[in-house]
Amino acid sequence: MTVPADPALVDLLVRADVLSFGDFVTKSGRPTPYFANFGNVRTGAHIAELGRLYADRIVAVFGDGVDVVFGPAYKGIPLAVTTAAALAEHHGRDVGFAFDRKEVKDHGEGGALVGHQLRDGDRVVIVEDVTTAGTSVRETIPKLRAVADVAVVGLVIGLDRQERGPSGDASALDGLAAEFGLTGTSLATIEQVVDLLVDREVDGRVVLTAAHADRIGRHLAEHGPR
């Protein structure tokens, strides 16, 4: 589900150095003219603002149909916490949050999950930064369903690269939505970022020129959904 991007998000991604434009290679091995590293969000103000934007999108798309926000380790952990906090503070929705461990804890309370204890019937939304191949989501959903009979109703990502996924002609986000029967949405698509950022100054600097925006357009024409 594509929803207009909040211009405040694009400014945040620039100020937090999340977005880079140049020559990169994704984890899947595909060359790309841009890169997004949400791990660079590292101040209280920035993560709080990002959580508000995720919370706003969850309310806009799912209304009150969410019981738990889940963040896959590692980058999804702060996203789940700050999104749940923002839902309570800005929307009056006190939902649970949870995340997984990379390794199952075999002492103390044990288990693979931390936070809200999943119950049958819980409606879960997964929050992620960027989805390229969908590997973490495909690993996460079986973990959740192994604990309880939950309904994974949605996936919210920070930036939709709008590139074909590994399993067909659909985008990675749309492919995951179809595969698991959930609603997929993003805070912004790369096309929206380009439209909002090209040749515009943020804090006195232009980070995306028209020439590089054209490179991104050619990249999407080659690697985007068909």
Does residue 200 sit within a domain? yes
Q: What pLDDT digit, counting tens, does each position of 22-50 carry?
A: 999 987 788 999 999 999 999 999 999 99
Does residue 2 sit within a domain? no
| Crossing angle of helices 76-91 and 44-62, rounded to 10° | 70
Residue 66 reports pLDDT greater than 80: yes
Global pTM value: 0.93
Range of the domain at 163: 7-223
Cβ atoms of residues 163 and 132 within 8 Å: yes
Cβ atoms of residues 156 and 58 within 8 Å: yes
Residue 159: CATH number of its domain: 3.40.50.2020
What mean pLDDT is predicted for residues 38-63?
97
Q: What pLDDT digit, counting tens, does each position of 126-155 carry?
A: 999 998 777 889 999 999 999 999 999 999
Could you tell me the CA-to-CA distances from 30 to 25, 105, 113, 135, 224 in Å, in that order? Answer: 5, 35, 32, 15, 12
Q: Quick one: pLDDT at residue 4?
A: 81
Does residue 1 sit within a domain? no
Cα separation, 105 vs 147, in Å, equals: 15
Q: What pLDDT digit, counting tens, does each position of 10-22 carry?
A: 999 999 999 999 9
Residue 105 reports pLDDT greater than 70: no
Q: Catalytic residues, which ones?
A: 105, 107
Does residue 109 sit within a domain? yes
What mean pLDDT is predicted for residues 173-186?
93
Does residue 89 sit within a domain? yes
Could you tell me the CA-to-CA distances from 207 to 11, 17, 51, 161 in Å, in that order? Answer: 11, 10, 24, 18
